[in-house]
Structures are given as C-alpha cells and as structure tokens.
Structure 1
Amino acid sequence: MGRSIEMMKTGLAVILALMAQPAAAACSDGRVTVAGDFGQAHFSVDVADDAQERAQGLMFVESMPILSGMLFVYEAPQVASFWMQNTLIPLDMLFAQADGTITHIHPEAIPGDRTSILGGDDIQYVLEINGGLAARLGIKPGAVLQHPAIGPDAALPCDG
C-alpha cells in the first residue's frame, strides 16, 4: 500500500512539473527536452562530455530531483555500454544516435549491478533519468532529444 501511494505522489509530481514547463523552452546546456508521441518533457541536466566526467557519471549520487538527469555526450557515434557499479539510485538510460533520436531505452537499471548494459551501436548521446520515469511519461524509442550539443543536424534542432 505504501509503495502505491509513493508512486501516485511521484506521478502527480511529474504531471505538475510538466504542466509548469513553458511550451517553447529555450535550448541551454543545462536542459534536455525529450519530445515524442507523448508530448514533451524537460530535464535539468549535468553534461558529461569528457572521459573523466563520463567515467564518474552518477556514481555515489544518493538522490536526484524528479525531472533531472545526466546527459552523456560522445565525440562520435560508437557502441555504448554502461554498468551501475557505485551507482546508488535506479536509472532509466535513453540511448540516442547522432541526430538525437532515441533508439533504445534500458529501464530501471539496478543500483550497484556490474552487469554490462549495452545501448547499441552508433550511439552518441545517453540521457540518464530516474528509474521508471521513461515509462511513466510514455517515452519510447523514436522520441528525440533536444540539446545544444546535438548540433545543426539534430532531429529536433535548437532555434538560433
């Protein structure tokens, strides 16, 4: 019973947060928009765009606000593989190709698990968000990421 109340509170918080977001939010380094058949969701993010930042990721983070995450940016498309060693919270991993199109979602990665999580070939961006949130919002493969790092060939480019 307690878990279902907690899930309802989380769902309500997500709905309220999405409703509070402006419809045409500006692109910025600290924000990723995910757009798809479900609508749009805006996440406050830290960007990991060098080897040291990507290696650290969200290790040792004890909690994360509901519409927050980390965007991993690689220099070029590649095979992307993650694990959850030293990660304390469950995460959804959204794997995207060079134009920002999400090709795979790994839901609810298990904290501390050392099993390799393969995101696929030709992955250039990975957005990590709170575990279970992608399903609650209706984010599916085919949705797209919008962020300045994705550049001019993005499926959903930044204006200006």
Structure 2
Amino acid sequence: MKRVDFNSLMALIFVGVLAALAYFFQDALKSNLRFILEGGFLEVFLVISVAVVVLSHSLKVNERDENSPLIFKSGFKPLDVFLTVGTYVAITSTACSLLEGAYIQQVFGVEYFTKFGELDINVLIGVSALLMWYVIFHMYKMLKELLFIPEEVSTLSDGASEKSALD
C-alpha cells in the first residue's frame, strides 16, 4: 500500500479552502482586490521587495557566477545593481498599472481602456500576471541564493577511496 504525501494533501486542502472562500465571498474578494490595486499596495510591496532582495543579494552573493539572476553584468557592480533594480521596478509598475485598469474594467465596468474589447482586457490581465510572475520568480531565485548556502560537492581523488565509498 502506498503512503499519502502529507505535503501534497495539505496543499490540496489549502487550495480547496481558498477556492471555497473565493466562491462564497466573491463580492468581498472583488472589493478588497480593487482596494489593494487602486491603493497601490501591491505595487509598493513588490517594489520594496525588489529593492531589498536585489540590494541584499548584491552585497552578499558572489556575482562572478554565470548563473547569477542579475539582469546586467557590466563588471561595475553599482551600475549592475541600479539597472537590475530599475528594470524590475519598471516591469512591476507596468504590470500593476495594467492589472489595475484591466481588472477594474472587466469586473466593475469602469472604462479604463476605451478602444479595448473584452478579449483585449483578458489578454492584459494575462500579460500582467505573466510580468508579475517573472519578477516574483526572479526575486525568489535571488532570495533562495541569498538565504541558503549551497552544499559543497566532495570529489573522490583516488580509485581506492571511490571503491570503498561504493561498498
């Protein structure tokens, strides 16, 4: 008999509870989301997160790594950090503005984009979500690199050690 994966079960229950709450409290969810978007709280949170993560990452993590998530690598660290923060902030700001307008137009009928149809508005919501995912994913990678020390991989130098390690 197979064992149940506890983490997957908890994730399933969590998503189910969120879906039920969203279904039963649609109006409250819509108005709260509008408040968050119009108040600029999401944008401020993401911009502060970008600045803190990129600056902390640039101070602590060795930037000579080719897989580094910094966008720009000119060799002049302050310029690299400035351009990276600026790029992520621009992407975040654009995504939040597009999401705000598209969501409010789609859900509440307020016309933000006068020449856009319903399909265009839905595409804007998707593009905004994709842009935010891009920023959040890269911040997650930087934060992971910042907080978790990579494990050293030990190599075996001679065949005898390799043989005894395999036994």
TM-score (norm. length: structure 1):
0.29
- Structure with greater helix share of residues: 2
TM-score (norm. length: structure 2):
0.28
Structure label with greater radius of gyration: 2
